[in-house]
Amino acid sequence: MNIKNLLEELTLEEKLGLICGADNWGNAGAERLGIKRFTFVDGPQGVRKLTNKNIDEYETAPATCFPTPSAMGCTWNTELAEEVAEALGEETAEHGRQAVNTPGINIKRIPICGRNFEYISEDPVLSGEMGAAVIKGLQKKGISPTLKHYALNNQESSRHFVSAQLDKRTLREIYLAGFERAVKKGKINHLPCKLPECQPMIVIKPSQCQRYNKRGCHITAQSNPDFFIQKQDNPSSYAQCQCRKQKLFCCKS
């Protein structure tokens, strides 16, 4: 497959279809040129593939229920984490998906956070080491891991809009350290960013996340109707993609 020739043949609409989500679970692909959709499935303790179009009804296909990331974190066993991730990767492939939303290494801060079971630990070193192991296991099976939730996702209520206020040292040494470790050691092939939406004191930009990951693809979390994605070669230039409840894919060459 000649990538340069494909790019020349793609229409503008098809190019936008590759970087903008067609729905909640993947991009549009370009069937005319044989480019398949890149699709996600939910995790993190097993494949959660919806069998209906209504995302709120949660009818899912049968799948293995693996131990939660919080339970895996208690083992401190990176080899076991990688082995479990390989099994999860095989099952994800069987369901016809290319990516799964795991590992969850966001730092636990609030005991009543609804997603604490998804997160490995309250320690950035342990979270980073175990996260890297999960990344390696999934990528061994050709499945892209979704390292989440970058970053400071410490509550469910209004999680897309909450204001997380903290100083730079706390952010760097606790909340981002695990992501840096997991990305560098796991050599992840794509990276989502960012949550939460509003941080008046410190804005976590995608570029901060990208410094850890010099290759692969950067994907936004679902958010607002209008998205802007920054071009890699020109920081002052933006490509606009107007979509509703969809992801953006920014792939680095």
**35 in helix, strand or coil?**
strand
pTM to 2 decimal places: 0.80
User: Which pLDDT score is estimated for 112?
Assistant: 84
Separation of alpha carbons 37 and 178, rounded Å:
30
Pairing of strands 249-251, 217-219: antiparallel
Give Cβ neighbours of residue 170 (< 8 Å, ≥ 6 apart): none
Separation of alpha carbons 209 and 180, rounded Å:
8
User: Which pLDDT score is estimated for 195?
Assistant: 53
User: Which ranges of 95-232 does DSSP label H, i.e. alpha helix?
Assistant: 124-140, 168-170, 177-186, 206-210
CB 230, CB 185: distance < 8 Å: no
Q: What is the pLDDT along the chain (253 residues), one digit of tens a residue?
A: 688 888 899 999 999 888 888 887 888 999 999 999 989 898 899 998 887 766 566 688 899 999 999 999 999 999 999 999 999 999 999 999 999 999 999 999 888 888 899 999 999 999 999 999 999 999 999 999 999 888 888 888 877 777 777 888 998 999 999 999 999 999 998 777 655 543 433 444 554 555 666 555 656 654 433 333 333 333 333 333 333 334 444 444 3
- Taking phi over 0 as left and psi of -120 to 50 as alpha, with beta for the rest, 138 belongs to alpha
